[in-house]
Chains A and B, each alone.
Chain A
Amino acid sequence: MGKAFGAVAGVGAVASLYAMKRSWDPLPSVKAAGFTTLDMSQYKENELVVEKWRGKPIFVLKQSKEMLESYDKNMSQITGKSTAEMDKKRLIKVGDDYFLICVGLCTHLGCIPGYNPDEKSFLCACHGGMYDDTGMVTKSPPPRGLDIPPFKVDGMKVVLGETSPEYEKMLADGITLKV
């Protein structure tokens, strides 16, 4: 008798916990409103523009020739490969230009880092984390580079929220986490 009662009560408890869990889930409307289209021809070199996607700030930073060269240099120092071999791993190529497009939230605890165009680096004021102009960490506490949102290049446009082979490759190479 006690056991039967316990079993029925247990099933009821699990079912109600599940219902409660589901009621706390993000609504379908919240999940569906997740796309932003950017026109990439409007951005200027080394000038940070903050866009918005799923309520989060998105950093768009068009790379100048000089920035690309120093990026190649850094990466080739790390990897030991020649600069010509380095493909611009964290950057997104649109037309002939390269862009950093990333979520503008510090990967430590989510503050918005500020960009300094002279130093070409990001500083997060909350706990002092720093990133370079491709969003890689140069000073902790952030555990990893700025996250890159799912993107799809479409001519001179970039759609955020939609995935593409380029983005899947970044995920597979461990360049960014899924956001």
Chain B
Amino acid sequence: MAHFTKATSLHDWLNQRLGIDTLNRVLATEYWIPKNINFLWAMGMILAITFGLLLISGIFLLMYYQPNIDLAFDSVNYTIMQEVGYGWLWRHVHGVAASVVFLIIYIHMFTGIYYGSYKKGREMIWISGMLLFVAFSAEAFSGYMLPWGQMSYWAGMVITNLFSMGGLHLDGLVEWIRGDYVPAQAFLNRFFMLHVLLIPLAIIGLIGLHFGALRIPHVNNQDGEEIDFDAEAKKYLAGDKANSKVIRFMNDFLAKDMMVVGIFLILFFYLVFYHYDFAMDPVNFDPANGLKTPTHIYPEWYFLWSYEILRPFSTNVGLIAFAFAQVIFFLLPFLDRSPNAVPASRRGLFKYWFWAMLIDMIILTAMGKVPPEGIFSAIGFYAAITFIGLWIALPFITKFEKKV
């Protein structure tokens, strides 16, 4: 057994038992962050805080929500919105956060792509990040079922039907997922379980993995410079803070991070109080009706780009294109064959690839929202083809990239 001495303070008492000084050093005060970064590196912290907001608002919604097909709609739209004191606040925080979190995720992802932060030892950061994206997508979809409005029901119908895999006709699998022939009580109950327990647990675990994956390679920087963290840390600890390229995670870096988080939260609460309606689809204020489809079914904005890749093709081709779009981002570290981990602006053709991909995804998102008719169908079709083409081209253009 280890040797314990009489504690001189509460701190010392805890330190002997939990090693809090060591933990604090490894995870905070001597976790080194490069100086050469910008506000885009604060997106991760904003995501963590937004997840916290979802968790807290979700807990309060959970106290009055009823996972029952006859009661769910009123428990949200009447009980929570009108009866529960400040119930509307939790619902609006939850809805706005669920939407905004995806905007931040996309910015976070494209920051990583631009600066090449997915290679040279940072592959696991990228992969755990993509797993988080998938988990958040599942979380948002399952949450969308809960108010049991028209969009909940029909989105549930259409998305679960994707699992029949088109020409394979796996209707048994679809019924298994639903627990019924159509979305009904069993369906609502199991998606409720997924939404409030299983997926949030998975998300928490994945956040841990994501942070852990960062600890050894450290975060990238604006120039993709390979920093010798041990040497720079030594300089810093020796007192030469001005010439060291790094700062402490806590408190130095955190103070800057929180500044960006603060600005974000002001905008966030502005949306919650004055513009929450963008996160609430009006069609979902009609109760679910299995005998009437809304005239247009479209997903929330953050799924539109992949939905638009599904839509312009016949069933089977559409499903294959859709499946491609869902997994391809995972492979980015391996499809990018260039050894350069520097900003896209210094990487020849990759610079154009980056901007083409970003603009193409914005076009896909816009086309996913409008009805699939005439010129919009055509634009959507070419944008979908461009998306696939860009990914096929990626290994080739990066292979011939000059080393910088």
Which A residues fall within an 8 A CB radius of B?
21, 24-27, 30, 34, 50, 52, 54-57, 108-112, 125-128, 140-143, 177, 179
Contacts and interface: CB of A to CB of B under 8 A. Distances in A.
Contacts of B190: 24
Contact of A109 (B161, B175, B295, B314): B161
A179 B186 contact: no
Contacts, number: 78
B297 A111 contact: yes
Contact of B180 (A30, A52, A112, A140): A30
B290 A57 contact: yes
A55 B181 contact: yes
A55 B290 contact: yes
Contact of A112 (B292, B296, B315): B292
A56 B181 CA distance: 8
Nearest to A50: B291
A54 B179 CA distance: 12
B314 A110 contact: no
B176 interface: yes
A109 B341 CA distance: 42
Given A55-B184, A56-B182, A110-B158, A26 B296 contact: no
A128 to B, nearest CB: 6
Contacts of B318: 141
Interface of B: 154, 157-158, 161-162, 166-167, 169, 171, 175-182, 184, 186, 190, 290-293, 295-297, 311, 313-316, 318, 372-373
A54 B292 CA distance: 15
Given A109-B158, A141-B318, A57 B291 contact: yes
B176 A25 contact: yes
B114 to A, nearest CB: 34
Contacts of B178: 26
Nearest to B167: A143
A111 B180 contact: no
A143 B166 CA distance: 8
A24 B181 contact: no
Contacts of B157: 109-111
Given A30-B184, A112-B292, A126-B296, 4 more contacts: A30-B180, A125-B295, A141-B314, A143-B166
A26 B180 contact: yes
A57 B161 CA distance: 16
A52 B291 contact: yes
Contacts of A26: 175-176, 178-181, 186
6 contacts: A25-B176, A27-B186, A30-B184, A54-B181, A111-B154, A125-B296
Nearest to A178: B171
Contacts of A25: 176, 179
Contacts of B169: 177
A57 B158 CA distance: 15
B96 to A, nearest CB: 28
B311 A127 contact: yes
Nearest to B377: A128
Contacts of A56: 181-182, 290
B167 A24 contact: no
A137 B380 CA distance: 24
Nearest to A126: B297
A-B pairs, top 9 by smallest CB distance, nearest first, are: A55-B182, A112-B293, A54-B181, A111-B293, A110-B161, A109-B158, A143-B315, A110-B157, A109-B161
Contacts of A21: 176
A110 B178 CA distance: 14
A26 B169 CA distance: 18
A179 B171 CA distance: 8
A74 to B, nearest CB: 22
